Structure formats: structure tokens, C-alpha cells
Amino acid sequence: MKKLLIITVCLLLALTICLATVACGEIKTQTPNQTENNTNDGTADKTQNNTSPSTQAIPTGLAGAVKNVSVDTANRRLLATVAADMESLALSQLQFSSPDVSYTVYTDITLTQTASDVIPLVEGANVFYLQIDNDGENILYTAIITREAAPAHVHVYGEWTTTEPATCQKTGTREKRCECGDTITETIEKLPHTEALDAAVSATCTETGLTEGKHCSVCGEVLVARPRP
Ligand SMILES: [Zn+2]
Ligand SMILES: [Zn+2]
């Protein structure tokens, strides 16, 4: 009886160890396998998705004075920046992976308004839509062209121009102008009188004389009166 009991206990122990090993082994092998499978599946799917657009006609950029061009094929976006003074973009500047690609440019997301050959660019983001015909399949790209903000204007004024000349009687004005139309106006001081000497007149037996005086030869203003003594 004792022998039988020991054998039974030993067998049970052995079975438990076996089961534990198998269970542990399963967990250990399953976990990486599952992860690997998932990774493989995900990568494979993504690779397949990524390979299909590469065979398609895609926009690759914009020619000319366009900066920071980037093409996001996954989200089908074309991003670019243009200088502040670039007021329009010609459709001939669009570049594609296939030279003979046929495409239509729309100015609205509902694809009802076809863009003209030259798209006017406003300051900030300009969004338009490229519908590319890829062997009968339509591929839609969103193009976002950002026109940089114009630098702040700094006035540059020209020479002074007299708008009203000063005289010895009144002040005048002058102004200088920036090409933007802004002006600075300044007052011109009165001119000095032009002194003319009035000689003294000696008294006669009929007329009283005059002391020496001064007047302005331009405006006639008496500068030094000569009252009769
Ligand atoms: Zn100015
Ligand atoms: Zn005067």
C-alpha cells in the first residue's frame, strides 16, 4: 500500500511538472509568435498599401520659385510655401511622377469649380484639389500652398517738396512722401523782411523833416517808423 501511494504521488508530481512545462512553453512560444505574426501582418499590409500608390501617377512637386515642397502620399497632400511677392501659381508648374499624367485642378472640395491655368494666391494658405486620372482611377490630392506674409513696411521718404512757400508775412509748408502714400508735413518759418533804408528828410521852411526809418522792400511793412518830430 505504501509503495503504491509513493508511486501515485510521484506520478502526480511528474504529471504536474510536465503540465507546467508545457503550459509555460506554450506561453513563451505563443507570445513572440503572436507578436511576430501581428507585426508581419501589419508590415505586410502597410507595405502593400504603400507600394500601390508608387505605381500611380503622383504629384512630385512644383517648379519655379516654390519652397519647402513636400508630398505626403499616405494622406495625399502636397504642401509648399511661396514668397510673399508670388501672387499666382501657373498650373504648368505642377510636376508629376508620370510625364503624361492627365489631371484636373479644382478650387473647391466638391470638385465643381475648375481652376484656371493660373491660380491667384492670397496671403496665407491657398488650398486647391488635384484630381489625377490614373488609368481610369481618380486619385484626389489636396494641395496647400502657403504664401508668406509680406514683411512690415518701413517708410522711405523722398526729398522735401514745398507745398506753400513762406514769405516775410506768413509761414509756409513743405512735405516729403513715401511711395506708399504716407506724408510728413512741416511748417516753414517766415522769411525775414528785406530791410530798405528810408533816409532822413531835413525840415524846410514849409515842411517838417523826417527821421531815418526802415521798411521791407518786399511787403512794404514799416520796420522803423519815422514820426514827425
Ligand atoms: Zn511708406
Ligand atoms: Zn516783408
> On the CB side of 179, how many CA atoms lie within 13 Å of its CA?
3
Q: How far is CA 74 from CA 53, 170, 203, 218, in A?
A: 8, 76, 113, 85
Question: Which ligand approaches the C-alpha of residue 196 most closely?
Answer: 2
Res. 52 pLDDT band, cuts 50 70 90: very low
Percent of the chain with pLDDT over 70: 75
Q: List, in order, residues 6 or more apart from 85 with CB less than 8 Å away.
A: 150
Report the chain's C-alpha Rg in angstroms: 48
Extract the runs of DSSP E, i.e. beta strands, from the chain.
Answer: 59-62, 66-72, 77-82, 88-90, 94-96, 102-106, 118-120, 124-134, 137-147, 161-164, 172-177, 183-188, 195-198, 213-216, 222-224
2.40.480, 3.30.160, 2.60.40, 3.30.70: CATH of 59-147: 2.60.40
Q: How far is the CA of 185 from the centre of ligand 2 (A)?
A: 25
**Where are the domain boundaries for CATH 2.60.40 in the chain?**
59-147
Looking at the CA of 166, which ligand is closest?
Answer: 2
- Which of 92, 98, 47 is CA-nearest to residue 74? 47
Q: What average pLDDT is seen over the chain?
A: 79
Q: Which amino acid is at 221?
A: E
Strand partners, 61: 95
Residue 50 has pLDDT above 70, yes or no: no
Q: How far apart are CA 210 and CA 23, in angstroms?
A: 140
Ligand at minimal distance from the CA of 216 is 2
Confidence tier at 159 by pLDDT (50, 70, 90):
very high
- Residue 220 CA, ligand 2 centroid: distance in Å: 6
Ligand 1 centroid–CA 82 distance in Å is: 24
Could you say which ligand is closest to the alpha carbon of residue 177? 1
Q: Give which of 86, 83, 80 is closest to 62, Cα–Cα.
A: 80
Report the separation in Å between the CA atom of 83 and the middle of ligand 1, taken as the mean of its atom positions: 21
Ligand nearest to the CA of 167: 2
Reference 84, options 145, 127, 129; nearest CA is 145
Residue type, 29: T
Cα(120) to ligand 1 centroid in Å equals 25
Q: What are phi and psi of 87, to 5 degrees?
A: -95, -10
**pTM as predicted:** 0.47
Pairwise CA distance, residues 107 & 129, whole Å: 6
What spacing in Å lies between the alpha carbon of 55 and ligand 2's midpoint? 90
User: What residue type is 46 in one-letter code?
Assistant: K
> 193 C-alpha to center of ligand 2: Å?
4
Question: Max Cα separation, the chain?
Answer: 182
Tell me which of 151 and 175 has the higher pLDDT: 175
Distance between CA 181 and CA 164 in Å, rounded?
19
| Cα 227 to ligand 2 centre (Å) | 20
Determine the Cα–Cα distance for residues 203 and 221; give it in Å rounded to an integer: 24
